[in-house]
Structure 1
């Protein structure tokens, strides 16, 4: 049994994770602990407070006791708002606190894009324009070319968590760009797991979403590879071998 530990802020789309666990269909357990979200707003100052070491540390002990072998901060915006270097320090601090390998959803997007061999990506962000722009900057720092950013301007996680299939597809379509090799939907408050195969079929390219890449990143940290077609191209392709 491989146990994956996730720190998830608040309550919005956490039910994506039991669905992912079921679709993995193997000896993998996804353990999730909710962290204190503080003020719920997609504002840079608020997002920087959301992922402080104190708030993350509060949930670590529970994951350690559950037997987690790796831990991921399951919040995209709570990572990239610190910039590349700041997000790296956040993850290093989390690893020190947890005593195990650690990462975040922000880095998961970069690693997942590398895994499927794409360099040009389009972003469909639920965030306001300024926050979405910071995510694009983060991706560029990770070596990706961002062909365009489409923002819905949503202010709170519960608002995004209430979105259904129509809103998710509209966001993905609005973001898609002919020059992009993949479309990225970065909010862990957004329900996407049920729609992954249909999204990729409609757009004709890989779609990487926050909750999907978060679990994939935790698996990467534990050196596990799982073939799960229901979770999109990221879980069905062979890894790209760097030479």
Structure 2
């Protein structure tokens, strides 16, 4: 029996994802968005990360312009209407201005609207209408503090910041529901209006509803906000109860 050809999605957002860890969140998120009625496609290409280390020098190299340009070469021809650098740490380590320059360079190479996961967090916090957040990070504390500084530059108050000391994305990618929930719970703060989990190496797509139920407040995770940011750039609005308060 021949199967009908799948028609190209009306809205396509491309993602440049560093290495291999939680990239399977993206087809999962695409499936959930399609179930909600969104005509979207989320093609992803893997960029060369160099050294897998949550260390500032390694992260600056991971997010360098040549590596992102190589990723865009691989993404070309996929019909993307926007592109997002699907990495938090290798965007916020450049600082507020440096991260803007990173995105401007990516947009110039792609010829498309572009963003990164760090800006996705900032925009998502604003979209939720909150101003005080807690950060529960997988990274060593010194790296997590760069994210705190980035958020402060965006006008967001960080009431609590907790690092977990994990050095590699490969290790983070092995974490399951229990580890994610434990980190989020430990990193919450009573004054926080939302909790942020900034690492695209962390599987989160299937845990969003449970995380928010456990903490009693919105939870923003890296792959969730990255996809939301891409849809925002492509001017696609999707509502679903399966992807947290951000999509409700």
Q: After TM superposition, is the score higher than 0.5?
A: yes
Specify the SS of the correspondent of 2:220: strand
> Whose radius of gyration is greater, 1 or 2?
2
1:1-243 mapped onto 2 (5 Å cutoff): 1-25=10-34, 26-236=38-248
In 2, Cα distance between the equivalents of 1:58 and 1:46? 18
Q: 2:241 & 2:224 partners in 1: Cα distance? A: 12
Number of equivalenced pairs: 236
Q: Once the two structures are superposed, what CA deviation does each residue of 1:122-160 show, in whole Å capped at 9, x if it has no partner?
A: 000000010000000000000100010111100000100
- Distance in 2 between the 1:110 and 1:179 partners? 18
RMSD of aligned C-alpha atoms?
Answer: 0.6
Q: TM-score, normalised to structure 2's length?
A: 0.94
Distance in structure 2 (CA, Å) of the matches to 1:40 and 1:172: 23
Unaligned runs of 5+ in 1: 237-243
Using structure 1 for the length normalisation, give the TM-score. 0.96
Q: Is there any run of 5+ residues in structure 2 with no aligned partner, and where?
A: 1-9
